[in-house]
Each structure stands twice: as structure tokens, then as C-alpha cells.
């Protein structure tokens, strides 16, 4: 079928094709390309292994790195809008981790004389994704299973496996495509049929569930607000004062911003409205968290929020805010996120504030923080790295505090809403922790305006659809510049406010109390893969040492 000779031009072509296919898969019309994007990479690795080249590790890493770099740039180029320097780091570092995973497979499979075959790659790649969900520089945006956010009807079985099941599916199909066109061309007809069936059977099963699904739980009316405040000019006075950007827009005074939230909410609230959601950092003038604090006694313009709540005693308001906790300077917690200033210690948070029917205030602190803007993983190791080296995009800058446990907010009818802040909605296993604490609805508050009108906010919205399927929870989503709206338990976006438009929307969604298998076990597939990967890699290299298996020494 396709050639297997070691030619640098051919390997370069395969690398370019793989990067292009994988990158384009992160766009809705061409998401299906994910099923063939990895096959050229398997061909690269296989050709290098068969060539018995001396510099096999360098060759494998180099050609796969180029493919992964292209993938990262095509899929997430929009990061450049927020920070060119941070985007370059994300592209290059993420590509290196991906290429390192493939190269580790290449080295291990050589050492074991193909003992484990491509099962080893499956568990290694899934282990890499699992690792990338949990370490300090976490960036799981390009998890293979995420691509199906664009086609939720295909993956209704995510309620059992979550995105790890999607990753496993993608790799398995790509391996069969590789077998069809490179490794076993004599059986190409049989392999082609098997590849088609490997796609068609899970999709067919998913469609059966999709078209027979009925929304579960009582109906609850929710209002979401989209103020459409430009991050770089209108929302934060930092940018207006420093002239960081010039978009032709002008800063909107904080008092007017609060008034906009209130007026948009009033335009859509009905007597049945139970929850109102305002986006991430809506109340961005930092205020202190106090145990006896109520919104009614807050200073202006926060007092206007109290007046608004008093007009609608039946509803609960969940809004994003910047808050801090003060500490006595003689008893500061030993955390790199605690700062000193003005004769006291304090810790700042990106917070979801919940104002219940009695106007008392509850808090949830964002836990999955954006590296370089909200989190500095190196601060605990290198004490000299301070907040001056972190990006300032206009809001609170520096190493923010977080909390270990999830918080669920309940209204007077005992309906629980999960306060999911922005980037946290990318993490499936993380979101299940809200459901385990009896969240009936997922509330996502976010600010995707940093990227402008690019594919970034579209991809972020698509990922929310997967969280709905995994947990069978309806989602209410409030985004600063969009897209705000509602997602049902099948992952369908059933109502939306277009990007870059001001508005509000009200809808009745269902508050489910049932638990899916995935909500119970989370990323069990990832954990199993990580266990097997450690065992298999160790076994491969031990076997090489015991039996004296060495890689070939022929020159390229």
C-alpha cells in the first residue's frame, strides 16, 4: 500500500500530514480527522524501528515533535491573543511532552522486541494524558477524547468512561488505519472493514442512547447574564490606565458594570427564577471575606447588589469575584500564595460567590488555576520567583490561593449548583467531585474574552458538552463575552447568546440527582493505564538487560 522505506523526505511528509490532520480535528467540521491523524505517526515510528538506524531515538523524537508542534499551533493558536510568550511556551513544551511519550514507546518496544506491541503505546499515551491533568503545568486541552465535544451524539457512552474512553477509541481506530495502509497491506480490505466497524458500532450505540434519552429531575429556572465587557479595554481599569491595548473602546466604570449586571438580570427574571449566574470575576474590585459579611451591608456599588437581591428574595445569585482573606502578620500560613503588605498578610482568590435567599454569602475558591496568570508552580521550589514575573492581563495577578475540596451551593429548595470557574470545566474527573457532593446542576462561570473572537471560546464551550454527558447534569453557562447559554443532559447546546453580544437568557433546565458510573469512578481508565504503563515499561527494559537484547547498530 504505502511505502515503508526510510527516507527523510517521506518521514518529513508523514510528520507534516499528521500535524495537519490532528490540528484540523479541533475544528467542528473536520473533527472526524482525529481517526486518521495518529496513523502517520505510527508509520514514522515503525519505519524508524525497521530501519535499524543508529540514531533512532533522535529521529523518532524529531519527526514526531514536528507533527505535535504543528498540531498544537493549528489547534490552539488563539492563545497568542492573550500572551505571545506564554503561547510559544505552551506550543513547544506540550509538543515535547507528546513526542517524549512516543519516543519512550519506541525505546521500550525496541528493548522488549515488540513483546507488548501497541498496547504499550495505548497505556503510555493515556498515562501521559492523566499526568497532564494533574501536575503543576497542567494543560489537558488537547486530550484526544475532548475532540468529541463537537459531536456529543457520538459519545453518549462517556457517562461510563469519560474522555479516557474517547482517547482509547481514537488510538484503537488509528492503529487499525495504520495496519491497513502500512503494517499489513495484504489484509487491507479486512482491516479497512474492521476500522469502519470500530467507528460505526460505538457511534450507533451512542445514537440509540441519544435519541432515547429523557431529561431527568425536576425543572429549575435559571438566568444567565452576558455583559460583553471587553477584557482589554472596558472591564479592567488596569488596562485603561496603562494603555496596554488600544481597541477603540473605553473603560466602563465599575459602578456602571455592576448596574449592567443588575439590569440585564432584571430583564429576564421571572417569579419562578431560582438561580442567576454572572460570569467569572464580575465583581473584580477585590473585597475581604468575613464570616459575618452580608451583601446588604457592603459598600457601594456592592450595596446595589444587595438591593437587587432584596427585590427578588426567591432567587439565589452566583457570581464570579476577586476576594481575599486577611491574616495577622505574626500567624501567616506557610504557603507561597500568602502575601505580605500594608501591615498584614493576605491571600487572594478567584472566587465564586453565592448569595442565597437570606442574602448571606458563601464562597468557593477556584482550584484549577491558569499557569502563568493565576498559578506559579515553581514558587514553592524557587523562593525568588515572585508575582512580578507573572502575566498581568488586567485582573488580579500573581500566585492565587485555591481550595482542596469542591463546594456545592444549595438554595432553599435543596437544589445544588456546582460553581465551576472557567478552566475547571476542562477537567472531567474534577467535575465529578461536585456531583459526588450532590450537585444537581453544573454552573459554569467563565471569561473567554482574553482570546477574542477565535476558536478558543468555541472549543471551551464544546468541552462543557462532554461534562454534561459524563455526569448527566444540565449546564447553565455565563460567559463575559460569550458564549453563554444552556446545555442539556445529552450535551446539546439548547440555547445560546452569540459571542460578542450583550444579553441575558432564562430557561428551565433539569436538576438531576442520579449518579452515572463515570461520576462514581472518575478517570478509572487513566489510573489503570498508568499502573499498566509503569509495569510494562519496567518489564521491557529489565527484559533487555537480562537477555542482553541491544538495539541494532547500523548507520542510517
Read off the pLDDT of residues 299-358 as tens digits, 9 standing for 90 and up.
777 788 888 988 998 899 999 999 888 887 777 887 777 887 767 788 899 999 999 877
209 shares a domain with 233: no
A 10 A CB-CB count for 85 gives 10
**Mean pLDDT across 534-541:** 82
Are residues 449 and 418 both part of a single domain? yes
229 and 248 inside one domain: yes
- 2 in a structural domain: no
Considering the chain, what percentage of its residues have pLDDT values greater than 90? 64
Do the Cβ atoms of 19 and 70 come closer than 8 Å? yes
Query: What's the mean pLDDT in 85-110?
Result: 93
Q: What is the predicted pLDDT for the residue at 544? A: 61
Q: Using one digit for the tens of pLDDT, what is the confidence trace for 161-179?
A: 999 999 999 999 999 999 8
- Specify the pLDDT at position 548: 53
**Do residues 280 and 186 share a domain?**
no
- Are 389 and 444 contained in the same domain? yes
Residues 147 and 279 in one domain: no
Instruction: Name the domain count of the chain.
Output: 2
Using alpha carbons, list the distances in angstroms from residue 437 to 45, 216, 322: 45, 18, 24
| Same domain, yes or no: 57 and 181 | yes
pLDDT per position as a tens digit, 31-86:
999 999 999 999 999 999 888 767 888 999 999 999 999 999 999 999 998 888 88
What's the pLDDT score for residue 1?
A: 57
Question: Does some domain include residue 404?
Answer: yes
Q: Answer with the residue of higher pLDDT: 71 or 380.
A: 71
CB 364 within 8 A of CB 354: yes
Higher pLDDT, 516 or 384: 516
pLDDT digits (tens, 9 = 90+) for 367-376: 998 887 787 7
Determine the pLDDT at residue 354: 94
Residue range 9-24, pLDDT digits in tens: 999 999 999 999 999 9
On whether both 256 and 194 belong to a single domain, the answer is no
Q: pLDDT at residue 244 above 70?
A: no
pLDDT over 70 at 242, yes or no: no
- What is the pTM for the complete model shown? 0.90
What sign does the dihedral 336-342-345-348 (CA atoms) show?
negative
User: What pLDDT sits at residue 310?
Assistant: 87
187 is in which domain, residue-wise? 8-213+523-547
Q: Is residue 518 part of a domain?
A: no
Q: Is the pLDDT confidence value at 240 over 60?
A: no
Query: In the prediction, which pLDDT does 539 show?
Result: 80
Sign of the alpha-carbon torsion through 469, 473, 476, 480:
negative
Q: Cis peptide leading into 483, omega within 30 of 0?
A: yes
* pLDDT tens for each residue of 433-471: 999 999 999 999 999 998 999 999 999 999 999 999 999
What gap in Å lies between CA 219 and CA 123, rounded to an integer?
A: 41
pLDDT tops 50 at residue 389: no
What torsion, rounded to 10 degrees, do the Cα atoms 442, 289, 269, 250 define? -100
Is residue 425 classed exposed, middle or buried when 0-12, 13-18 and 19+ CB atoms within 10 A define those classes?
A: buried
Q: What is the CATH number of the domain that holds 342?
A: 3.60.110.10
Return all residues near 72 (Cβ < 8 A) that are at least 6 apart: 23, 90, 91, 94, 95, 142
Question: Backbone phi, then psi, for 494, in 5-degree steps?
Answer: -95, -10
For the segment 233-240, the average pLDDT, to the nearest whole number, is: 75
Mean pLDDT of 89-108: 94
**Which helix H or strand E contains 317, and what residues bound it?**
strand 316-327
pLDDT at 300: 73
Q: Which three cell numbers stand for residue 231?
A: 477584557
Output the pLDDT for position 293.
Answer: 60
User: Which of 20, 199, 45 lies closest to 125 in space, CA to CA?
Assistant: 45
pLDDT, averaged across the chain: 88
Cis peptide, bond prior to residue 301, ω within 30 of zero: yes
Tell me what pLDDT residue 386 has.
53
User: Does residue 72 sit within a domain?
Assistant: yes
Examine the domain organization and report whether 67 and 207 are in the same domain: yes
Domain membership flag for residue 3? no
The answer on 255 and 133 residing in a single domain is no
| pLDDT for 298 beyond 80 | no
Angle at 320 between CA 277 and CA 460, to 5 degrees: 75
My answer on whether 205 and 225 are in the same domain is no
Question: Which backbone phi and psi does 52 adopt, to 5 degrees?
Answer: 60, 40
Same-domain check for residues 404 and 462: yes
Q: Is the pLDDT of residue 381 over 70?
A: no
Identify the pLDDT of residue 384: 45
Q: What is the pLDDT of residue 15?
A: 96
Residue 553 is assigned to a structural domain of this protein: no
User: Which pLDDT belongs to residue 519?
Assistant: 97
Q: Are 15 and 67 in contact (CB under 8 A)?
A: yes
Residue 292, pLDDT > 60, answer no
CA distance 117 to 179: 12
Between 83 and 553, the more confident residue is 83
Q: 361-365 and 409-410 as β-strands: parallel, antiparallel, unpaired?
A: unpaired
**342 lies in some domain:** yes
Please give the angle made by the CA atoms of 143, 349 and 141, to the nearest 5 degrees.
10
Q: Cβ neighbours of residue 290 under 8 Å, at least 6 residues apart?
A: none
The DSSP bridge pattern shows strands 475-479 and 339-341 to be unpaired
Residue 100 pLDDT more than 80? yes
- pLDDT tens readout for residues 119-164: 999 999 999 999 999 988 999 999 999 999 999 999 999 999 999 9
Flag whether 196 is in a domain. Answer: yes
Amino acid at each position: 500500500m504505502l511505502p515503508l522505506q526510510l527516507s527523510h523526505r517521506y518521514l518529513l511528509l508523514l510528520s507534516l500530514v499528521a500535524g495537519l490532520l490532528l490540528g484540523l480535528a479541533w475544528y467542528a467540521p473536520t473533527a472526524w480527522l482525529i481517526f486518521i491523524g495518529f496513523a502517520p505517526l505510527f508509520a514514522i515510528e515503525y519505519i524508524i524501528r525497521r530501519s535499524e538506524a543508529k540514531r533512532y531515538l533522535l529521529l523518532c523524537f524529531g519527526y514526531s515533535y514536528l507533527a505535535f508542534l504543528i498540531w498544537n499551533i493549528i489547534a490552539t493558536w488563539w492563545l497568542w491573543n492573550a500572551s505571545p510568550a506564554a503561547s510559544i511556551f505552551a506550543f513547544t513544551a506540550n509538543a515535547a511532552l507528546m513526542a517524549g511519550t512516543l519516543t519512550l514507546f519506541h525505546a521500550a518496544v525496541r528493548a522488549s522486541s515488540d513483546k507488548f506491541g501497541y498496547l504499550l503505546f495505548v497505556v503510555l499515551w493515556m498515562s501521559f494524558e492523566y499526568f497532564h491533568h494533574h501536575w503543576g503545568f497542567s494543560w489537558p486541552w488537547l486530550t484526544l477524547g475532548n475532540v468529541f465535544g463537537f459531536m456529543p451524539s457520538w459519545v453518549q457512552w462517556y457517562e461510563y468512561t469519560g474522555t479516557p474512553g474517547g482517547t482509547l477509541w481514537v488510538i484503537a481506530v488509528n492503529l487499525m488505519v495504520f495496519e491497513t495502509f502500512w503494517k499489513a497491506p495484504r489484509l487491507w480490505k479486512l482491516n479497512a472493514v474492521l476500522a469502519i466497524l470500530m467507528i460505526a458500532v460505538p457511534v450507533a450505540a451512542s445514537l440509540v442512547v441519544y435519541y432515547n434519552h429523557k431529561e431527568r429531575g425536576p425543572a429549575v429556572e435559571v438566568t444567565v447574564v452576558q455583559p460583553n465587557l471587553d477584557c482589554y479595554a472596558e472591564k479592567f481599569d488596569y488596562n485603561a490606565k496603562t494603555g496596554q491595548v488600544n481597541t477603540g473602546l473605553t473603560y466602563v466604570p465599575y459602578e456602571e458594570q455592576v448596574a449592567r449586571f443588575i439590569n440585564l438580570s432584571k430583564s429576564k427574571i421571572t417569579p419562578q427564577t431560582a438561580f442567576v449566574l454572572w460570569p467569572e470575576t464580575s465583581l473584580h474590585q477585590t473585597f475581604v471575606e468575613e464570616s459575618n459579611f452580608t451583601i446588604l451591608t457592603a459598600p457601594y456599588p456592592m450595596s446595589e447588589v444587595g438591593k437587587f437581591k432584596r427585590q427578588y428574595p426567591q432567587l439565589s445569585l452566583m457570581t464570579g469575584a476577586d476576594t481575599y482573606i486577611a491574616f495577622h502578620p505574626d500567624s501567616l500560613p506557610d504557603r507561597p500564595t500568602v502575601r505580605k503588605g500594608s501591615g498584614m498578610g493576605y491571600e487572594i482568590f478567584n472566587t465564586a460567590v453565592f448569595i442565597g435567599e437570606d442574602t448571606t454569602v458563601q464562597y468557593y475558591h477556584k482550584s484549577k488555576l491558569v499557569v502563568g496568570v493565576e498559578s506559579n508552580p515553581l514558587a514553592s521550589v524557587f523562593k525568588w520567583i515572585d508575582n512580578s514575573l507573572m502575566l498581568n492581563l488586567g485582573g488580579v495577578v500573581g500566585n492565587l490561593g485555591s481550595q482542596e475540596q469542591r463546594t456545592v451551593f444549595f438554595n432553599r429548595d435543596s437544589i445544588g449548583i456546582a460553581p465551576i470557574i472557567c478552566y475547571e470545566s476542562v477537567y472531567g474527573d474534577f467535575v465529578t467531585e461536585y456531583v459526588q457532593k450532590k450537585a444537581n446542576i453544573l454552573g459554569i462561570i467563565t471569561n473567554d474574552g482574553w482570546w477574542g473572537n477565535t476558536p478558543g471560546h468555541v472549543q471551551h464551550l464544546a468541552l462543557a458538552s462532554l461534562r454534561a454527558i459524563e455526569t448527566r447534569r444540565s449546564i447553565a453557562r455565563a460567559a463575559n463575552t460569550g458564549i453563554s447559554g444552556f446545555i442539556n443532559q445529552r450535551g446539546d447546546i439548547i440555547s445560546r447568546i452569540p459571542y460578542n453580544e450583550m444579553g441575558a437568557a432564562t430557561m428551565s433546565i433539569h436538576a438531576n440527582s442520579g449518579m452515572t458510573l463515570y461520576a462514581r469512578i472518575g478517570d478509572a481508565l487513566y489510573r489503570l493505564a498508568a499502573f499498566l504503563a509503569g509495569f510494562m515499561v519496567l518489564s521491557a527494559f529489565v527484559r533487555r538487560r537480562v537477555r542482553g537484547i541491544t538495539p541494532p547498530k547500523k548507520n542510517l
